Amino acid sequence: MDIQGSEFSTKGSYVTGKEYTRDTHYIETRITRDGADGYPVEAGRYRLVVARACPWAHRSTIVRRLLGLEDAISIGVCGPTHDARSWTFDLDPGGADPVLGIERLQEAYFKRTPGYPRGVTVPAIVDVPSGAVVTNNFPQITLDFSTEWKQFHRHGAPDLYPEELREEMTAVNKRIFTEVNNGVYRCGFAGSQEAYDDAYDRLFAALDWLTERLAGQRYLMGEFITEADVRLFTTLVRFDAVYHGHFKCNRSKLTEMPVLWAYARDLFQTTGFGDTVDFEQIKKHYYVVHEDLNPTQIVPKGPDTSGWVSAHGREALGGRPFGHGTAPTRPVDA
């Protein structure tokens, strides 16, 4: 989730005339087993910086937890709100990250590139010894957790990125990102009625497509959870709390889309998903930070979230959430 300069929207990309366009120019350095980019996989060297409010960062917390990478990659958590400069560590004692010793994530970006000109985003992986950001390329971060960090996976870790499904998953992920993950933002930050109408129609066409796909199978790629489910979940879990009203994605609430609502509850009740959700931080971020959309900064009390733990019935479709693996057992640390 981006923070940009004054010419950008508060949601980190920009409105060119009428249509909202996300800035996808990230720091593409990778942490790999061979260290080709100068950053080899090494337990204890890197810190994953996230915000529980942010859907893009939320992906990385789920994948890290499912794979059991807690001992290999530490985590730092920013607060739900920020100013035009940076995410801050206001949840930590003294307002500074206890490992990095910084108050603003911006400081780690400046360590990498003095005067870093683009968005200060989460998730970001920071090289602890140097204090510099290694990467903020959120789609690649989780894929590398699955592939490059295998030696540090917990016993029983699921395969979230199976080789035999990657080609199909790439196509599914692309549509989910374009029409759903980013589609809600295209609705919320549309600069014209025409741009909003187009974004709205595309979003709900994609949700209808997902409904059809999930009507007869438990997960997006079939019988077990994959990276694709993680990517969709972080948008669905925020849908009624913020996107339906705040971003005007109001053809239907998630609770009014039976297949997707049951699917989302199934994931929420799976270890690693619901236990990483903080609805209050999610609402506080969107309604406080987006002053252009919500000038009063009033945070709504609803919706009622008790339904997330109600029976979903998706077990009838078969499948095993973790495939041949097992659920995480250690307590969540973020």
3 has pLDDT over 60: no
Residue 94 makes CB contacts below 8 A (sequence gap 6+) with none
329: in domain: no
- In which element (H, E) is residue 13 found? strand 13-16
Residue 295 to residue 10: CA distance in whole angstroms: 13
Catalytic residue among 26, 109, 185, 243: 185
Residue 334 to residue 332: CA distance in whole angstroms: 6
23: in domain: yes
271: in domain: yes
Whether 141 and 211 map to the same domain: the answer is no
Angle at 186 between CA 181 and CA 189, to 5 degrees: 125
7: in domain: no
Number of domains making up the chain: 2
Q: What is the pLDDT of residues 136-167, one digit of tens each?
A: 999 999 999 999 999 999 999 999 999 999 99
Strand partners for 126 = 47, 133
Whether 90 and 178 map to the same domain: the answer is no
CATH number at residue 185: 1.20.1050.10
Q: What is the pLDDT of residues 279-329, one digit of tens each?
A: 999 999 999 999 999 999 999 999 999 999 999 999 999 999 999 999 999
Residue with tokens 């971003």: 247
333: in domain: no
Instruction: Determine whether the annotation assigns residue 87 to a binding site.
Output: yes
8: in domain: no
Whether 174 and 298 map to the same domain: the answer is yes
Whether 201 and 292 map to the same domain: the answer is yes
Active site residue 185: yes
Q: What angle in degrees, to the nearest 10, is found between the helix axes of 227-238 and 138-147?
A: 140
Q: How much is the pLDDT for 296? A: 97
Whether 21 and 145 map to the same domain: the answer is yes
Last residue of a domain, one of 152, 175, 203: 152
44: in domain: yes
Q: How much is the pLDDT for 109? A: 98
Whether 186 and 308 map to the same domain: the answer is yes
Catalytic residue among 39, 54, 196, 263: 54
State the virtual CA torsion across 149, 32, 117, 96 in degrees, nearest 10. 40
Provide the whole-model pTM: 0.94
Whether 63 and 190 map to the same domain: the answer is no
Q: What is the pLDDT of residues 152-206, one digit of tens each?
A: 999 999 999 999 999 999 999 999 999 999 999 999 999 999 999 999 999 999 9
Whether 200 and 245 map to the same domain: the answer is yes
The number of helices, as runs of H, and strands, as runs of E, in the chain is: 10, 6
Pairing mode, if any, of strands 13-16 and 46-51? unpaired
Q: How much is the pLDDT for 39? A: 98
290: in domain: yes
Q: How much is the pLDDT for 8? A: 30
Residue with tokens 């350095």: 29
Active site residue 20: no
* C-alpha dist (Å) from residue 151 to 23, 73, 227: 33, 13, 19
Q: How much is the pLDDT for 24? A: 77
Strand partners for 78 = 51
Residue 326 makes CB contacts below 8 A (sequence gap 6+) with 156
Q: What is the pLDDT of residues 6-18, one digit of tens each?
A: 223 333 454 555 7
Whether 200 and 55 map to the same domain: the answer is no
Q: How much is the pLDDT for 4? A: 38
Q: How much is the pLDDT for 333? A: 84
Question: Residue 167: CA atoms inside 13 Å, Cβ hemisphere, count?
Answer: 1
Where does the pLDDT of residue 41 fall: very low under 50, low under 70, confident under 90, or very high at 90 and above? very high
Q: What is the pLDDT of residues 47-70, one digit of tens each?
A: 999 999 999 999 999 999 999 999
Where does the pLDDT of residue 85 fall: very low under 50, low under 70, confident under 90, or very high at 90 and above? confident
Whether 120 and 210 map to the same domain: the answer is no
Whether 235 and 109 map to the same domain: the answer is no
Residue 1 makes CB contacts below 8 A (sequence gap 6+) with 11, 12, 51, 53, 54, 55, 56, 57, 121, 122
Structural domain span for residue 284: 163-317
Whether 173 and 307 map to the same domain: the answer is yes
CATH number at residue 86: 3.40.30.10
